[in-house]
């Protein structure tokens, strides 16, 4: 019998059919292990055969959306969540409308998924988010118990600080119906279990990882060759990433040559560039290089072609950033805030975590600590960073744990 995986993700495609980097990261492995890979997104469904599609044409199965709108008002799960909102004094017209839209989208993805699954197929339903995609997988499982249905949990889809309505968005229903729930970090698991009474046996921490074969070989620390301390950061230039915090930290740099390369663009790019020019413009010993927006493959090429002494993350909130993993794969020590899931990956063995309450001063002190290391110690950090990626962050190895039925050639539960 044919073995199928249905990848449910609201953001796997954009409106023009361009695939999301997270989907592309996992797609080659899925194609190598399953007979059939079906993508189910907000824009429709498509069977995928190319491991690196530049554009995907998704179809919206007939009547699936209309049927979802007609079905949602009669959903017992919807009314149970509405009752909980009422009990907690949160049943406003806006919240009820958001819950209804969530329910409709879940039923829509359920209808589309079931429409492309043959009755005799062995299938795994893989919801990338514990949002309405996870709800859709749970609804499918309710209809067809022989399916295996699992969901990942990240941050916005489980954390009530990110989305206060999260506790009322079918998390209990998912906990009842799904075969497995996989938060990406221990921090995410704690947040999930503190808010929702989910069956503990179904919840298992499993990181997202980053793509690539086992890493071997790396640049020597360049600072010890020419005296230029090379810093790299990789993040969208949006408020939550706090890129100006790194600029403020560099403004504290007392002396010595520094080259800072920032990879990534975003809505605030021009404002960040202007701020850097204003704050650091007189510091001729500090050289700035902004790449603008780049593709995921280009990030890896930058690390393969240029040596860096340290990677810096200054985000206000994170899960476990793939950007940190990619830098570790290249053997680059990490400076990052001790928030959310980051301490599960970054410690003094591979870099310098800092207290975010310390602001720019804390970032500067962490950078200065890396710059002050003897060469032998700096090289030890570099080797440890790459070794940790090999041990904890290889996407293909993590996927084998998420899909034992495919990795071992077994059958779906």
**Domains of the chain by start residue, with CATH:** 3-209+395-407 (3.40.50.2000), 223-392 (3.40.50.2000)
Amino acid 412: pLDDT: 39
Amino acid 122: pLDDT: 81
Amino acid 406: pLDDT: 81
Tens of pLDDT, residues 245-296: 999 999 999 989 999 999 999 999 999 999 999 999 889 999 999 999 998 8
C-alpha dihedral sign at 287, 291, 296, 302: negative
Which residues does 151 contact at the CB level (< 8 Å), separation at least 6? Answer: 126, 127, 128, 129, 130, 133, 134, 137, 174, 178, 180, 181, 182
> What would the two tokens of residue 263 be?
């990879």
Q: Report DSSP state, residue 344.
A: G
Q: Report DSSP state, residue 18.
A: P
List the strands of the sheet with 351-354, edge to edge: 286-290, 257-263, 228-234, 310-312, 334-337, 351-354
> Residue 100 belongs to what H/E stretch?
helix 93-116
Tens of pLDDT, residues 206-230: 999 998 888 888 899 999 999 999 9
Regions in the chain scoring below 70 on pLDDT: 1-2, 120, 407-413
CA separation, residue 264 to residues 128, 267, 298 (Å): 24, 11, 11
Amino acid 159: pLDDT: 87
Q: How far apart are CA 82 and CA 315, in angstroms?
A: 34
The answer to whether 249 and 360 are in contact (CB under 8 A) is: yes
The answer to whether 278 and 244 are in contact (CB under 8 A) is: no
Interaxial angle between packed helices 269-280 and 243-251, expressed in degrees from 0 to 180 and rounded to the nearest 10: 10
Q: Is the pTM of this model over 0.85?
A: yes
Amino acid 2: pLDDT: 64
Amino acid 407: pLDDT: 62
Q: Report DSSP state, residue 72.
A: G
């Amino acid at each position: 019998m044919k073995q199928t995986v249905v990848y449910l993700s609201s953001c796997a495609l954009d409106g023009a059919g361009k695939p999301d980097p997270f989907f592309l990261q996992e797609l080659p492995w899925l194609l190598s292990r399953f007979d059939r890979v079906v993508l189910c997104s907000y824009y429709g469904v498509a069977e995928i055969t190319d491991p690196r599609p530049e554009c995907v044409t998704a179809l919206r199965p007939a009547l699936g959306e209309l049927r979802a709108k007609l079905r949602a008002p009669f959903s017992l799960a919807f009314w149970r969540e509405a009752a909980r909102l009422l009990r907690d004094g949160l049943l406003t017209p806006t919240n009820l409308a958001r819950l209804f839209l969530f329910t409709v989208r879940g039923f829509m993805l359920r209808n589309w998924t079931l429409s492309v699954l043959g009755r005799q197929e062995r299938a795994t339903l893989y919801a990338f988010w514990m949002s309405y995609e996870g709800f859709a997988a749970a609804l499918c499982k309710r209809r067809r118990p022989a399916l295996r249905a699992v969901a990942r949990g990240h941050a916005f889809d489980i954390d009530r600080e990110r989305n206060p309505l999260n506790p009322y968005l079918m998390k209990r229903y998912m906990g009842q119906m799904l075969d497995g729930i996989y938060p990406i970090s221990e921090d995410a698991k704690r947040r999930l279990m503190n808010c929702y009474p989910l069956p503990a046996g179904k919840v298992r921490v499993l990181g997202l990882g980053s793509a690539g074969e086992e890493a071997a070989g790396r640049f020597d620390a360049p600072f010890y060759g020419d005296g230029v301390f090379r810093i790299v950061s990789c993040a969208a230039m949006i408020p939550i990433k706090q890129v100006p915090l790194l600029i403020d930290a560099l403004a504290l740099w007392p002396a010595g040559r520094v080259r800072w390369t920032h990879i990534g663009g975003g809505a605030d790019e021009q404002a960040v560039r202007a701020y850097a020019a204003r704050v650091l413009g007189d510091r001729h010993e500090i050289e700035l290089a902004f790449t603008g927006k780049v593709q995921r493959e280009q990030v890896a090429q930058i690390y393969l072609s240029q040596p860096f002494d340290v990677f810096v993350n200054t985000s206000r909130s994170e899960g476990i950033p793939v950007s940190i993993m990619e830098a570790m794969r290249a053997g680059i020590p990490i400076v990052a805030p001790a928030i959310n899931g980051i301490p599960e990956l970054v410690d003094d063995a591979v870099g310098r975590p800092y207290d975010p309450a310390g602001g720019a001063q804390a970032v500067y002190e962490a950078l200065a600590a890396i710059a002050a290391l003897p060469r032998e110690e700096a090289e030890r950090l570099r080797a440890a960073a790459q070794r940790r990626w090999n041990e904890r962050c290889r996407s293909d190895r993590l996927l084998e744990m998420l899909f034992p039925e495919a990795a071992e050639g077994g059958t779906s539960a």
